[in-house]
Structure 1
Amino acid sequence: MKILLIHQNFPGQYKHLAPALVKQGHQVVALTCKVKQPAQWQGVQIVPYEIKGASTPNIHPWLADFETKILRATSCYRGAQALKAQGFEPDVICAHHGWGESMFLKDIWPKARMGLYCELYHLTTDSFINFDPEFPTRNAEADALRIRMKNLNNRLHEEVMDAGISPTRFQASTFPDHWQDRITVAHDGVDTDLCRPNPDARLQISDDLTLTRDDEVITFINRNLEPYRGYHVFMRALPEILKRRKDAHVVLIGGDEVSYGAKAPKGQTWKQIFIDEVRGRIPTPHWSRVHFLGRVPYDKYLSMIQVSRAHVYLTYPFVLSWSLLESMAAECAILASGTEPVREVLTEDETGWMVDFFDREALVDRLCALLDDEATRKRLGANARDFVRQKYDLQSVCLPQHLNWVERLGTLEARPPRD
């Protein structure tokens, strides 16, 4: 088959799928705004397109997000037109449609089958927009209207989606009922040969400090340190954790920006806001055992989870982080929030421990209990790795599922664009 991949940050979710499709003998082309010049990557032909146009000043705020997607969609459309002019006719289009790029591609290739990466449908239920009472929506009624507008991109793509794929049941369940019979649940997969325990792992914090498995290391990971991933809950628990764990080092990975929730007020960062809130209750000797690494290369991230004695993962009901499954694959002892996406992959006292997202006292108590119980940590870690290898292993489970999904996609009758 001729397969076209669309991802604004290619390879993104197609990192493993694209080369595997090439190995199967398919012609694979990726259309992306990430590169400036045509290139080859593991047999994939990468074709650039340029985003043209600018956002309208003072546009209605509910339309600003959609206008950005329209700019990407029309720019990608022009890039696709150029591909068509060169004679390229894809049998299958696989797209992460979250940025709008693939919105008009069926207008160019109406006979192509389109498979979408269904990451999330934005909901107006309290568990989504009012989960955290500390950050309530200012106007629930207006928020429901705004979020409905935010789903315009999803809704327009649904009309031309021949099949979808979603990494977890929770994420798939956010989409409306009339999507469900077209969505397959299959995770992107965890490389369990790479994410594995390493008794000799070493994490260099500074020229004077390197942590190993012999140290008591508590880890916490966000793409960006923000409330959506429970950063504020963890930081408020930190003074008591450091007080009770005299030798523990706390290591945090995460940037200063915002990935999912609202921006911090007045040009601040969530990271600094909650540092400032708790720093006065943490003596300097204790604070010297807290290490913010920022964003790090993958090998350093891997060393971090391999030296971890207990890994804390907190999240709103939202997209599940890869870091949780990768930490489980590395045999970390997990203490996580008992929110819905977590409960899909974690079983209490079997593959990890869970606490209520908002219960800082329980977080501290259970973390200390976990650190004091080596036998339980080993049991939970071993079970967690076994679970990930059975359900989420890249090579033996998830990649074959994705390849089969693409093959089935190629047999479907294409849904043409609608007026």
Structure 2
Amino acid sequence: MVFLFLHQNFPGQFAHLAPALAAKGHQVFALSSRFSKPDTWRGVRLIPYAYDEPKDQKLHPWLNTMNRAVDRGTVVLRAALALKARGLKPDAIIAHSGWGEALFLREVWPDARIGIFCEFFYATEGADVDFDPEFANPNELGRGPRMMFKNMAMRMQLEQADAGISPTHWQADSHPPELRQRLTVLHDGIDTDAIRPDPEVRLTLEGHGSWTRDDEVVTFVNRNLEPYRGFHVFMRILPELLRRRPKAQVIVVGEDGLSYGSPPKEGGTWKDKMIAEVRGCIPDADWARVHFVGRVARGDFTRLLQVARVHLYLTYPFVLSWSALEAMACEAAIVASDTAPVREVMRHDETALLVDFFDKERMVDAIDRLLSDPDKRRAMGKAARAHVVDHYDLKRVCLPKQFEWVDALVAPRH
């Protein structure tokens, strides 16, 4: 069969499924704006399309997300028509709905089966919006209509699709009932054969240092350092954490951009803003034990989780990060925010210590407790890995279920 994947940052959530289908002998293509020229990756033929954000368009602000989706969808439509003219006829199209790439593909291949990866559906309450009182806007005019337009492109893609997939129950349940019934809950999977504990691990990051399991390492990870993943809360616990743990080495992974949310109102980056806020409370000798390492390579990232004595994971009620499950797979002792997506995968005092997202004192207490109790760390880490192996293992759990979902997607209609 012929499969076409769409993801503006391919492979993204399709990093395992797309090459696995190619390995089964299917023809697999991926259309993405991430690449500048055609290539082949693990049997997947990569096809680039060029995309630039629309500029100087006068729109109502509620329409910005929808406008970008239509604009990108139109670019993809042109690329798809060109591929069709060259003879490409996919049996199935599998696309992430977040950027509008699959909006118009029924126009090109009306008989193809379409499966949509649905990551999140925004709501006016009960999730990320106004979760954090520091950035809340309870008197916002027209929040409901704004959310409606923010979701519109994702809704339209799923409504046209034959099936949808969502990685966790909480994320699937964020969708309204008429869309939720189209979704199968299937995580992309964690390769627990590769992402596993290593007692002999050594992490060396040029310009920062070298660490082993003998060091008291505390890790914190964001794709980009920002409030949605609790960066501001983490920074505010640093003075007390460093004071209590004079041997702790704190390694912070993350870039300075934005994945979610908004930049600081006064401009600049969240990293610069939070350093300016807390630096005066931290002596130079303690600050020297904090390492902002930016983005790290895949191998170093696994070693980071393997070397961590305690890993801190914070998130708004929002999309669950891969890093949380990968830390569990590495038997890291985890302190995490007691928020809905975390509670789905971690159990308090068994696989992690869950604390209120805003309770900085309890957060420091929890990290301090685990750093002082190697038996607790060991037991909790083993229980965390066992949970991931049982429920999220790539090869034995998730990928077989993804194949079943694909088989159902392409099965003949009756």
Task: Tell me how far 1:43 sits from its aligned partner.
Answer: 2.0
Structure 2 distance, partners of 1:262, 1:139, is 18
CA distance in 2, matches of 1:63, 1:289: 45
Pair 1:145 & 2:145 matched:
yes
Change beyond 3 A, Cα 1:73–1:206 = closer
* Distance (whole Å) between structure 2 residues aligned to residue 53 and residue 313 of structure 1: 32
1:329 corresponds to which residue?
A: 329
Match of 2:300 in 1: 300
Q: Report what 2:31 is aligned to.
A: 31
Q: What secondary structure does 2:93 align onto?
A: strand
Partner residue, 2:173 = 173
1:132 aligned partner, one-letter code: D
Moved more, 60-69 or 336-345: 60-69
The amino acid of 2:13's aligned partner reads: Q
Measure how far apart 1:388 and its partner are: 0.7
Give the counterpart letter for 1:73 in structure 2. G
SS in 1 for 2:252: strand
Asked whether the 8 Å contact 1:337–1:356 carries over to 2, the reply is yes
Structure 1 residues 196 and 88: alpha-carbon distance in aligned structure 2, compared to 1, 3 A threshold: same
Matched with 1:184 is 184
2:12 is matched with which residue? 12
Contact kept in structure 1, 2:195 and 2:330, CA below 8 Å: yes
Shift of 1:145: 1.9
What is aligned with 1:316?
Answer: 316
Cα gap change, 1:260/1:81 in structure 2, threshold over 3 Å: closer, same or farther?
Answer: same
Give CA deviations for 1:143-200 in whole Å, capped at 9, x if unaligned. 3221211111012113201100111111101111011222111111111122111112
- 1:262-305 alpha-carbon deviations (Å, 9 max, x no partner): 11123211111111111111111111111111111111211111
Give the equivalent residue in structure 2 for 1:109.
109
Structure-2 residue corresponding to 1:54:
54
How many aligned positions are there?
414
Residues 233-267 of structure 1 show CA distances to partners (whole Å, capped at 9, x for unaligned) of 11111111111111111111011111111111232
Cα distance, 1:207 vs structure 2:
5.4
**What SS is found at the alignment partner of 2:203?**
strand
Which residue identity lines up with residue 78 of structure 2 in the other structure? R
Cα deviation digits, residues 359-381 of structure 1 (max 9, x gap): 00100111111111110000000
Could you tell me whether the CA contact under 8 Å between 1:55 and 1:68 is conserved in 2? no
Residue 2 (structure 1) aligns with:
2
> Paired residue for 1:417?
none
Deviations, residues 40-60 of structure 1 (Å, cap 9, x unaligned) = 222222222233783343322
Residue 285 to residue 72, structure 1, CA distance change in 2 (3 Å): same
**How high is the sequence identity, in percent, across the aligned residues?**
50
Change (3 A) 1:360 1:42: same
Given that 1:55 and 1:67 are in contact with CA atoms closer than 8 Å, whether structure 2 keeps it comes out as no
Counterpart contact for 2:190–2:394, Cα < 8 Å:
yes
Alignment of 1:3-402 (within 5 A): 3-51=3-51, 54-137=54-137, 139-206=139-206, 209-402=209-402
> Residues of 1 paired with 2:381 and 2:327: CA distance?
9
Large movers: runs of 4+ above 4 Å? 205-208
Residue deviations 1:338-365 (CA, integer Å, cap 9, x gap):
1000000001111111101110010011
CA distance in 2, matches of 1:224, 1:208: 19
- Measured in 2, the distance between the counterparts of 1:65 and 1:352 equals 36
For residues 86 and 9 of structure 1, what CA distance do their matches in structure 2 show?
24
Structure 2 stretches lacking a partner, 5+ long: none
For 1:52 and 1:332, the matched residues in 2 are separated by: 40
Cα distance in 1 for partners of 2:139, 2:259 equals 22
Between 36-45 and 2-11, the greater mean CA deviation after superposition: 36-45
How far off is 1:138 after superposition? 6.0
The question of whether the paired residues in 2 share the 8 Å contact of 1:137 and 1:143 is answered with no
Task: Flag the structure with more relative contact order, 1 or 2, with Cα contacts below 8 A and sequence separation at least 6.
Answer: 1
Q: Please report how far the alpha carbon of residue 398 of structure 1 lies from its aligned counterpart in structure 2 after TM superposition.
A: 0.9
Which secondary structure state, in structure 1, belongs to the residue aligned with residue 160 of structure 2?
coil
Q: Which amino acid aligns with 1:4?
A: L
Q: 1:159/1:412 Cα in 2 relative to 1: closer, same or farther (>3 Å)?
A: farther
How far, CA to CA, are the matches of 1:67 and 1:56 in structure 2? Answer: 12
Q: Give the Cα–Cα distance (whole angstroms) in 1 for the partners of residues 336 and 53 of structure 2.
A: 43
Aligned CA distance change for structure 1 residues 53 and 262 (closer, same or farther; 3 Å): closer
In 1, distance between residues paired with 2:397 and 2:252? Answer: 31
CA distance in 2, matches of 1:62, 1:403: 38
* Secondary structure of residue in 2 paired with 1:83: helix
What is the alpha-carbon distance in structure 2 between the residues aligned to residue 42 and residue 127 of structure 1? Answer: 37
Q: Are the counterparts in 1 of residues 6 and 31 from structure 2 also a CA contact under 8 Å?
A: yes
- In structure 1, the partner of 2:410 is 410
Following the alignment from structure 1 to structure 2, what is the Cα–Cα distance between the partners of residues 403 and 69?
29
Give the residue type in structure 1 aligned to 2:22: V
Aligned equivalents of 2:138, 2:197: Cα separation in 1: 45
Shift of 1:10: 1.6
- Provide the secondary structure at the position in 2 that maps to 1:243: helix
Question: Gapped runs of 5+ residues in structure 1?
Answer: 415-419
User: Cα deviations across residues 38-96 of structure 1 (Å, max 9, x unaligned)?
Assistant: 22222222222233783343322222222211111111111111121122222111001
For the structure 1 residues 253 and 411, does the alpha-carbon distance in structure 2 shift closer, same or farther, using more than 3 Å as the test?
same
TM-score scaled by length of structure 1 = 0.95
Provide the rounded CA distance (Å) in 1 between the counterparts of 2:74 and 2:253: 36
Contact 1:91–1:410 at 8 Å: present in 2 too? yes
Cα RMSD over matched residues?
A: 1.6
Q: Secondary structure at the match of 1:293?
A: strand
